[in-house]
Structure 1
Amino acid sequence: MRAVLCGYYGMGNGGDEALLATLLQMLPSPVTPIVLSGNPAETAQRYGVEAVERKSLPAVWSALRQSQFFIWGGGSLMQDATSAINPLYYGGLMQLAQLMGLKTVAWAQGIGPLRRPSSRWLARLALRGCEGISVRDRASAQLLSDWNLPCLLAPDPVWALASKPVPQLWNLPAPRVAVALRAHPQLSPERQEVIIQALVNFQKATQVCLILLPFQPIKDRGIADAIAARLTGPHAILTPTSPQQLKGVFRGIEMTIGMRFHALVMAAAEGCRCFAISYDPKVEQIVQALDLPAWTLAQPGESTLPALPSDASTLSQAWLQCYANGDPLSADQIQSRLDRALMHQDFLIEAFQ
């Protein structure tokens, strides 16, 4: 059996690469994957799979003609917050696969936000033709329920990704705190300056080593460099290329301050205390699911979370409180989420029968 895997793969985003690594980990053994990738050579070399250019219609057409299955996942593919093109691209591919007679499944999806009527129509049409749908958050499950579409709800599958140790991490002094921020329109230069000053204050108060993790270096490296330039204590910028090692970084971390959704998933799964800065509904979903301390960058009325404070001392004091008194998830809580994340694997096994 051959299956086309469609997602935001090969685009240099650590979270999406972790989803691909987890999907490959969960695929039933008789299934041969063909990955649609922004960097097919790198994807083929890293994972030992066949990969084709995601934007090449002849390559995608050939992959679909060779396959019996089309897996759409995972993550926030069907959303128009970043671009109206996303629903057109992913929804169009799903429709094409369905028209060609492939068995299609939507795997580990976080659906929305869908602000345009055309996006909602296309998402509903594509999902209606799926043999099965699994989602990773309650908001997505509720949206599908409103559309009368059944689905499986389980935690993000990256909870179940096997992590690997990162040898160079242990050469850095302990204790360590990870910071995973990203550039975003709502993270204005003024807000970025407040966060950087708060991190400087936090490090001076705790003497921790700050580990800066640009999950998508092309977007995140600039802010990591800006933070590093201001720090006077021990710090490092780490960019593991293996998703398993990226998750493994958090084995040696005491606390994580994260904007990136999968930074929070990985950190919580490895037993770290977490403090979130939300820029997107998917981050707010994990904040609610794990009851994390958090601030939002959203405009007033767009989020239930408190707004990011405008002074550095308030930020650093909240991080100090989390560092000193916050609790990571217990071993039982982590195991429960890992076990339930494996429901996405059971979903795949059933889909390929």
Structure 2
Amino acid sequence: MRICIHGSYGTGNRGDNVILSQLLLLLAEELPGAEVTLLCRDEQRVALYLESAHPGLRLRVRPLHASFRRHPLAVLRACLRCDLFILGGGGLLWGSAPGNLAYWLTRARLARLAGARIVLYLPGIYALRGRGAQRLLGRFARVADFVSARDPEGFEQLRACGVPGQSIHLGADPAFLLPAPAPGSSADLLEALELSGYQLVGLSARDWRHRLSAGIFANFVRGLLEDESVRLLFFVMKTGGRLGETDTDDITVVRRLLGTLPPALQKRVLIVDDGYDDEEMIALMAACRYVVAMRLHALIFATIAGTPFGALAYDEKINAYMTMLGRQGHLLGMDEVADPERLPAITAGLIAERERWPEGPVPEIALAASSLAGRARNVHRALAEALRTWYPDARAGRVEGGRRQP
């Protein structure tokens, strides 16, 4: 049984790692022992992640750089020989055709022509440009065996491409399958980090347009930290960019930000990086008065934590997420960052929200997280059912293949 997965894996992005983990856990349950070729951006980075996060995984996973230029025969062979091709998840499908959209669909189309079953796994779909892009995605999705979207925006984009709504499984980002913090977990962690008794504020920033991110937050952070009772938690969602793209590393942003602060204030910042697992990061967000973030999965983690959060909309996917949760009032457009009053206004609204619910998760946010977790589980159940239908002997380890019947 051969599976090929193609996604934006191997860039050091915590959100993509969570998505990959949830997908692999599902496959290990339904298709144990399967041979998986993981088309990715960095083979070594993916291999290290899998070794640390899933040492006993019941799959044989081989990371392979997705570039035809680097491994033309190996990539082609993986696409043409697989029984099941999975595209996703993450915010992959956007832009024009040819262009970004064509890049992501090319390998899946090769697999489809060779007879593989095709799964569109909870991708983000937004900002399609032109009728050519709609036609390309529509033709592909209409012949896929399982189609899902991670949010209503993607669902409507697929419908606009001519995909029948009844054939689309509306889900949510697989990160919502992570558990909410257990009672007391935040307190234990804060005590270990000597943060008990402080007011905590969370921040997640990424590089954006000529290193502007650190400048956006510099005055805001300085003002926060002048209050001795405040500690800033900087949540690192991406460590290390692609080859030659060091500026995409969130650590680079926080270092620039720290460089704008005097040493006394720098000591009031805790960098929450890869030394903390997903559950610990969510628990720390649960302890924050509020979180301001640019990264989508920082917003998702804050939602799971039930903590008030605001966003800087550097990308359409941030707009889509905040709209889905009805939090447009806590959204700062990137065209507004030059206005010195807008970010403080956003945070004032978050403080007011926290003051209404000073203890524990905000009910509206916790309810949204629960609803989205349910949607993600529903898609996983539907996909598991499809896999059992296609490969009825797989859970007993007796499947050798399972291509589409002509």
Which of the five TM-score ranges fits, normalised by the shorter chain?
0.7 to 0.9
Determine which of 212, 235, 260 is the counterpart of 1:230.
Answer: 260
Deviation at 1:267, TM superposition (A): 1.2
Structure 1 residues 248, 122: closer, same or farther in 2, change over 3 A? Answer: farther
Distance in 2 of aligned mates of 1:36 and 1:289: 30
Shift of 1:157: 1.6
Equivalent pairs counted in the alignment come to 341
Once the two structures are TM-superposed, the CA of residue 112 in structure 1 deviates from its matched residue by 2.1
Structure 1 residues 28-107: aligned runs within 5 Å: 29-31=29-31, 32=34, 33-47=36-50, 48=55, 49-55=61-67, 56-80=71-95, 85-107=99-121
| 1:10-67 Cα distance to aligned partner (Å, 9 max, x none) | 1122221221122123335242333212222332342243222222232223333442
Report the Cα distance in structure 1 between the residues aligned to 2:233 and 2:15, rounded to whole angstroms.
17
Deviation at 1:332, TM superposition (A): 4.0
Supply the distance in 2 between the matched residues of 1:239 and 1:316 (Cα, whole angstroms).
Answer: 26
Matched, 1:159 2:196: no
Change (3 A) 1:114 1:333: closer
Distance 1:72 1:256 in 2: 31
CA apart distance, 1:188:
6.9
**Residue pair 1:240, 1:246 contacting (<8 A) in 2 also:** no
Q: TM-score, normalised by structure 1?
A: 0.85
Question: What SS does the corresponding residue of 2:292 show, helix, strand or coil?
Answer: strand
Q: Does 1:6 align with 2:6?
A: yes
Amino acid at match of 2:14: G
- CA gap of 1:97–1:284, structure 2 versus 1, over 3 A, is same
Distance 1:147 1:197, change over 3 A: same
Please say if residues 105 and 130 of structure 1, whose CA atoms lie closer than 8 Å, have aligned partners that are also in contact.
yes
Residue aligning to 1:294: 331
Is the Cα contact below 8 Å between 1:5 and 1:72 reproduced in 2? yes
Letter of the 1:40 partner, please give it.
Answer: E
8 Å CA contact 2:201–2:289 kept in 1: the answer is yes
Q: Which runs of 5+ in 2 are unaligned?
A: 56-60, 242-247, 390-406
Report matched runs for 1:1-353 at 5 Å: 1-27=1-27, 29-31=29-31, 32=34, 33-47=36-50, 48=55, 49-55=61-67, 56-80=71-95, 85-149=99-163, 150-162=167-179, 170-173=192-195, 174-185=198-209, 189=212, 192-205=214-227, 207-217=229-239, 218=241, 219=248, 220-231=250-261, 232=265, 234-240=268-274, 246-247=281-282, 249-292=284-327, 293-297=330-334, 307-308=336-337, 310-311=339-340, 313-326=341-354, 328-330=361-363, 331-352=366-387, 353=389
The separation in 2 between residues aligned to 1:37 and 1:225, in whole angstroms, is: 28
Task: Please state how far the C-alpha of 1:205 moved relative to its aligned partner.
Answer: 4.5
SS in 2 for 1:202: helix
Higher deviation after alignment, 131-140 or 58-67:
58-67
The superposition leaves residues 252-289 of structure 1 with CA deviations (integer Å, 9 ceiling, x where unpaired) of: 43321111111101111122211111112211111112
Of all paired residues, the percent bearing the same amino acid is: 22
Amino acid at match of 1:279: Y
Which digits, 9 at most, give the CA deviation of each residue in 1:189-214, with x for residues without a partner? 4x753432022213334732111123
Which letter maps to 2:258? A
Larger of the two Rg values belongs to structure: 2
Q: Are the counterparts in 2 of residues 258 and 275 from structure 1 also a CA contact under 8 Å?
A: yes
Which runs of 5 or more structure 1 residues have no equivalent in the other structure? Answer: 299-306
CA–CA distance in structure 2, aligned partners of residues 135 and 266 of structure 1: 19
